[in-house]
Amino acid sequence: MKKFNDFLDTVMRFIMAAAMFALLAGGTWQIFTRWILKNPSTFTDEFLRYVLIWASMLGSAYCFYKDEHLALDLVKDRVKGSVRSVLMIFIEAAILFFVCYVFYIRRNAACRQCNQQVLRDAYPV
């Protein structure tokens, strides 16, 4: 299992490094075509948007897996024993609450968008 985790760690690091390089190259290309060639590239806007979304999702999952996410480090490093265990449970519960809240808000926004589309299609123009 350790060998598989090491392999997965290496693959994830490579994918995230490639995504960061793609962001750098795409942004540089967009700036070059816009300011030097005076003809902005048409695909880089969407490309950079999708790469940024995937890089942030994969990066946050990787940091959560490695337990290197942004969590009350100042407090976490100073406490020991059972207080540390309770604090870690609180941090994980806060992360779970935040994820559920974001999914709930996003689901409601998607449902509102679907309802508006249905209502718009129901009326003849």
What confidence tier does 118 reach under pLDDT thresholds 50, 70, 90? low
Residue bearing the bigger pLDDT, 35 or 125: 35
Q: What angle do CA 105, 110, 113 make, to 5 degrees?
A: 130
Which residues are CB-contacts of 64 (< 8 A; sequence separation ≥ 6)?
95
Q: Percent of the chain having pLDDT more than 90?
A: 34
Residues 29 and 85 in one domain: no
Residue bearing the bigger pLDDT, 47 or 103: 47
pLDDT at residue 48 above 90? yes
Residues 43 and 55 in one domain: yes
What residues make up the domain containing 11? 1-69
Please tell me the distance from the alpha carbon of residue 113 to that of residue 119, in angstroms, as a whole number.
Answer: 10
pTM: predicted TM-score of the whole model, two decimal places: 0.65
Residues 6 and 63 in one domain: yes
Q: pLDDT tens, 71-115? A: 667 677 788 888 888 988 888 898 889 888 888 887 777 777 666
Which residues are CB-contacts of 19 (< 8 A; sequence separation ≥ 6)?
51, 54, 55, 58
Residues 60 and 87 in one domain: no
